[in-house]
A and B are shown apart, each in its own frame.
Chain A
Amino acid sequence: MGKTLAEKILSEHADKEVKAGELVIVKVDVCLTQDGTGPLAVRQLQKLNMEKAANPDRTVLFLDHASPSPRRELSNDHMLLREFARKTGAQLSDIGDGVCHQVIFENYLNPGDVLIGADSHTCTGGAMCAFSTGMGSTDVAVGIALGKTWMKIPETFKIVVKGKFQKGVFSKDLILHIIGTIGADGATYKALEFCGETIENMPINERMTLSNMAVEAGAKAGLIASDDITKEFLISRGRGEKFREIKPDPDAEYEKELEFDVTNLEPTVSFPHTVDNTKPISQIKSVKIHQAYIGTCTNGRLEDLEIAAKILKGKKRHPDTRLIVVPASREIYKKALQKGILEILNDAGASINNPGCGPCVGVHQGVLGNGEACISSQNRNFKGRMGNPEGFIYLASPATVAASAIKGEIADPREFL
């Protein structure tokens, strides 16, 4: 019987042929943890007397969530992680280097790898055709020390996408639309496999946005077959030799097959407080916006900043709407600087912060006031997410966020392109 992408990658790592539903122990190639989950992981290893890393070169500790640290408690957490990296030889991605999922993708992850990360959006790595999944601190701690973990092989939903996006519509709109359709728990425990002509033609940054948000439908992974686009990306990162073409077998068994056509898809927005609470832009009327945020592991890439700059060029943010921009990594920051993108955004009135998670998780750099509304290119809008349960978060593409920053209310980016 043929295999899905998940079955293929996990069979290689379990050293036997595995099928959906089986419980197995798998070898882990890459591990990541961040400053919100890492300290607990380190303490668990101390309890177990296992302060070591099985693969120090591919174990990465990120200081990205509270970065630079806004409080002494968090500074102490950072110290603990730096010390662990020193002791074990694990890699440290310090403040300003960027968001874990972006940096791991740029510098560490290859097709066919298994990556476990103490962060739920570790599923971003699915766009590399790596089996990447989020787990808790203890699971990842044990993965770091032993180089393995236990896992149930997930059933897979095949998501077939066809059609060409209209101008001003992006993979972010597609994934919001998909989650709005299947629900925030529509794919719990499942792997998603994104395929079809639209995905085959999609650049890597847009693929990452799809995989990134797989967990918002409850999924364990969001996989995309590796192809020439993956190969080009690896070559551009100096890892061309790591390319492997991995495709699902034609007779693979899927639990479900869903089809989406993007031809008439509109810019789409998730309303507070759940990601599946989506509306097409044509149905949205005068929602006043106080803060607009472009950044995060979902949409803080060069292409995202580029489209925002295209919309904001020569314009100003609305006087009642503050605009925050956070490039997802140091690399992206540098390229955006070189290309003049940051200058355009700065002239438009943006506050440009250092690479990292920025205000996404409510620690710093843009906490909402009572009753305020934010439109963000991030991936979740749960109550309290941006540091205040009295705030309201709307999710959209960077283009929609940029258009809304100009108008001061949720706006259609197609008017500006």
Chain B
Amino acid sequence: MILKGKTWKFGDDISTDHIAPGRYFHLRSNLPELAKHVLEDADPEFAQKMNKGDFVVGGNNFGLGSSREHAPTIIKLAGVSAVLAKSFARIFFRNSINVGLPVIVCDTDKIDAGDELEVDLQKGTVYNKTKNITLTFPPLPKAMTNILNDGGLVAHLQKHGDFVID
């Protein structure tokens, strides 16, 4: 499957507090409402401006901070098709796979705000249509590919009854 959309560009060290601010703690059991505030402390209008299918593109250490799975969950719920960054914080990366949100490590210096991208998860390529360049990214470990392909950890366990790590 090829994911297509426009780029929303963010800087380094986008934390889970930028993505799902603590002042909306009381909305954690109301994810559609929480999703209206996604990335609010990095770009207050992001949720209003973005379109379904768009990409969130960060710099280094995307998703650092808390373990709140609500962060990748509301990025996905808002309709973002994947997050691309130079590097990710560990818990955010694993949570993203668990909720079925593709996370891609690539050289995001070559992507600017507004660029149109086409991402092929199987081939491991990001085609930047605006700049006419192709970036590649390494495949995920097998355990993570299995979970992502099943649509997240809950779906994975519903299907197999246990972890399938190889």
With A40-B69, A188-B87 already in contact, the answer to whether A382 and B17 are too (CB < 8 A) is yes
State whether A139 touches B98 (Cβ < 8 A): yes
A220 → B minimal CB distance (Å): 6
B122-166 contacts to A (CB < 8 Å): 141-143, 152-154, 157-158, 162-163, 165-166
B108 sits at the interface (CB 8 A): no
- Give A16-58 as 1s and 0s: 1 = Cβ < 8 Å from B's Cβ atoms: 0000000111000000000011011000100110000000000
With A185-B61, A188-B87 already in contact, the answer to whether A150 and B165 are too (CB < 8 A) is yes
State whether A40 touches B90 (Cβ < 8 A): no
With A76-B29, A218-B90 already in contact, the answer to whether A23 and B143 are too (CB < 8 A) is yes
Q: Which of A39, A136, A363, A367 has the most chain B CB atoms closer than 10 A to its own CB?
A: A136
State whether A135 touches B22 (Cβ < 8 A): no
B26 sits at the interface (CB 8 A): yes
Where the two chains meet, the residues of A that have a C-beta atom closer than 8 Å to any C-beta of B are 23-25, 36-37, 39-40, 44, 47-48, 65-66, 71, 73-74, 76-77, 80, 117-120, 122, 134-139, 142, 146, 148-150, 152, 184-185, 188-189, 215, 218, 220, 274, 361-363, 367, 380, 382-389
B48 sits at the interface (CB 8 A): no
**A146–B157 CA distance with the chains assembled, in angstroms:** 11
- Choose among B18, B69, B87 the residue that contacts A137 (Cβ–Cβ < 8 A): B69
B56 sits at the interface (CB 8 A): no
**A40–B72 CA distance with the chains assembled, in angstroms:** 13
- Give B7-41 as 1s and 0s: 1 = Cβ < 8 Å from A's Cβ atoms: 00000010101100111011111100000000011
With A37-B69, A120-B91, A383-B17 already in contact, the answer to whether A152 and B141 are too (CB < 8 A) is yes
- Choose among B28, B40, B66 the residue that contacts A40 (Cβ–Cβ < 8 A): B28
Residues of A within 8 A of B165 (CB): 23-25, 150
B87-143 contacts to A (CB < 8 Å): 87-91, 94-95, 98-99, 141-143
State whether B69 touches A380 (Cβ < 8 A): no
- Choose among A77, A184, A361 the residue that contacts B61 (Cβ–Cβ < 8 A): A184
State whether A120 touches B66 (Cβ < 8 A): yes
**A274–B40 CA distance with the chains assembled, in angstroms:** 18
Residues of A within 8 A of B143 (CB): 23, 150
Q: Which of B66, B73, B98, B141 has the most chain A CB atoms closer than 10 A to its own CB?
A: B66
State whether A384 touches B67 (Cβ < 8 A): no
State whether A48 touches B158 (Cβ < 8 A): yes
State whether B41 touches A384 (Cβ < 8 A): yes
B64 sits at the interface (CB 8 A): yes
With A48-B158, A134-B91 already in contact, the answer to whether A380 and B65 are too (CB < 8 A) is yes
With A136-B69, A188-B87 already in contact, the answer to whether A66 and B25 are too (CB < 8 A) is yes
State whether A138 touches B153 (Cβ < 8 A): yes
With A384-B23, A385-B22 already in contact, the answer to whether A37 and B87 are too (CB < 8 A) is no
**A220–B90 CA distance with the chains assembled, in angstroms:** 7
Residues of B within 8 A of A136 (CB): 67-69, 91, 94-95, 98-99
Can you list 24 A-B pairs with a CB-CB distance of less than 8 A?
A23-B166, A36-B25, A39-B28, A40-B29, A47-B154, A65-B25, A73-B29, A77-B28, A117-B67, A122-B67, A135-B94, A136-B67, A136-B69, A139-B94, A139-B95, A185-B64, A218-B90, A362-B25, A363-B22, A380-B65, A382-B15, A383-B41, A387-B23, A389-B41
